[in-house]
Structure 1
Amino acid sequence: MKIHLTSVFVDDQARALSFYTEILGFVKKHDVPVGAQDRWLTVVSPDEPGGTELLLEPARHPAARTYRDALVKDGIPLAQFAVDDVRAEYERLCGLGVRFTQEPAEMGPVTVAVFDDTCGNLIQLATKPR
C-alpha cells in the first residue's frame, strides 16, 4: 500500500494552480472538468512525476472550510512538503513574495518553516535529517 493522492482545499483552483506551479515549482498532472465550475486538478513534484499527486480541491463543502479555517486560526499546517534545505527554500520563496507565518526553526533533527499558500492553507516545509 502507498499514498497515491492527497488534497488541499482551495478557494480558487486557478489561483491555486498558479501558486503551486509558478511559485512552488510543482507540475500540473491532471486537469479534468468536473461539473459546471470545478476541475479534477492535480500537481506533482517535477522530481517524481509518477509520485504522489496533490489535488487542488475546491473548498465548497462547509465542513472543509470550517476545518481548514480552524487549522489556520490555530497556526496548524494542513500539509508538509519535504525540501533539501528549508533555509534556502525560505529565502527563495520570500524573494517571490511568499508570506511565512514561521521562519525556519530547528525542531529536533529537522528544520521546519510554515507559509501561507494564498489559497486558505498553511503549509510546512521540512528538511529531513541526513
Structure 2
Amino acid sequence: MKIIVTSLFVQDQDRALEFYTEKLGFVKKHDIPMGKFRWITVVSPDAPEGTELVLEPNEHPAAQEYQKKLFADGIPATMFGVADLHQEYKRLLESGVKFTKEPTKMGEVTIAVFDDTCGNLIQMIQK
C-alpha cells in the first residue's frame, strides 16, 4: 500500500494553483471541472507519477474551522521535503513567500515554515 493522493484545504483554488506552481515549483497534473469547484492536483517535477497533492476547496464549515484553528495555533498543515533548505528558503524569500519560522536546526533535521497565502502554514524539512 502507498499514498497516491493527499489533500490540502485551500481558500481559493486559483490562487492556490498559482502559488503552488509558480512560487513552489510544483507541476499541475489535473485540473478537472467538478461543478462549482475543480479537481486540481499538483506533483513534484522530480516525480510526475508520484504522490499528488489535491488543492481541495475548504467550502465545508468543518474544513474552514479546522484550517483556521491550525493556522491560528501555528501548526503546519503539511510538510514538504527539500534537499537544501537554506537554498530553498532563500529562493522562496526572493519570490515573496512569507515565512513564520526561519530555518531552524531541530535535532538531526532543519525546518522552516511559510504561509501559502491560501490559509495554511507549510513546513519544509531537510533531513
TM-score bracket relative to the smaller structure: over 0.9
Deviations 1:23-59 (A, max 9, x none): 0000000111001x20000000000000000000000
SS at match of 1:18: helix
Taking structure 2 as the reference length, the TM-score comes to: 0.99
Alignment partner of 1:57 is 2:56: yes
Aligned mates of 2:61, 2:88 — CA distance in 1: 33
Aligned length: 127
Q: How far, CA to CA, are the matches of 2:93 and 2:49 in structure 1? A: 29
Q: Secondary structure at the match of 1:94?
A: helix
TM-score relative to the length of structure 1: 0.96
- The 5-angstrom pairing of residues 2-13 of structure 1 reads 2-13=2-13
Q: CA RMSD in A?
A: 0.5
Q: Counterpart in 1 of 2:125?
A: 126
Q: How far, CA to CA, are the matches of 2:19 and 2:10 in structure 1?
A: 11
**Superposed displacement of residue 84, structure 1:** 0.4
Residue number in structure 1 paired with 2:18: 18
Mark the runs of 5 or more structure 1 residues left unpaired by the alignment. none
Q: Deviations over 1:37-88 (max 9, x none)?
A: 2000000000000000000000000001111110111100000000001111
SS at structure 1 position matched to 2:90:
helix
Cα offset, 1:13, TM superposition? 0.5
Give the residue type in structure 2 aligned to 1:72: F
SS of structure 2 residue aligned to 1:3: coil
Matched, 1:71 2:73: no
Moved >4 Å (runs of 4+): none
Separation in 1, partners of 2:21, 2:15:
10
SS in 1 for 2:2: coil
Give aligned-pair identity as a percent: 65
Aligned to 2:41: 42
